[in-house]
Amino acid sequence: MDYYLTLDHWSSIVRQLKDDEREYDILAQDTSDLAKDILLVIRSTRFKQGVLFKQKRGEEYEKFVEKLNDTYDHGAVKRILSNDEFWEVSFSLR
């Protein structure tokens, strides 16, 4: 898939996530920042066990989730990471 089409798709998913998170009193900016931080880590980190990370398993993934939980709402982190479409599109932008 073309990079710009994928980026547009990622942006539309994030817009939907921002709308969904309002039900939990999470600010749209916080959801956007969380999504950007996740994408930044996926794009910039050289994973030792990339396959496990993509499968949401392993020590690197657990540390990643811990770090996100330190900064963002735990429920919001869990919900956005459980969105498989967001996760797959984020990896396709790698």
Residue 65: alpha-carbon gap to chain centroid: 10
| Under 8 Å between Cβ of 61 and 15 | no
Q: How many domains does the chain have?
A: 1
By CB atoms closer than 10 A (0-12, 13-18, 19+), residue 90 is: buried
Closest CA to 11 of 45, 34, 41, 35: 35
Each residue's pLDDT, cut to its tens digit, for the chain (94 residues) gives 587 888 999 999 999 999 999 999 999 999 999 999 999 999 999 999 999 999 999 999 999 999 999 999 999 999 999 999 999 999 999 8
Q: Residue 56 corresponds to which tokens in the numbers above?
A: 């949401």
Is the pTM for the entire model greater than 0.85?
yes
State the pLDDT at residue 4. 80
What SS3 class is residue 53?
helix
State the pLDDT at residue 73. 97
State the pLDDT at residue 3. 79
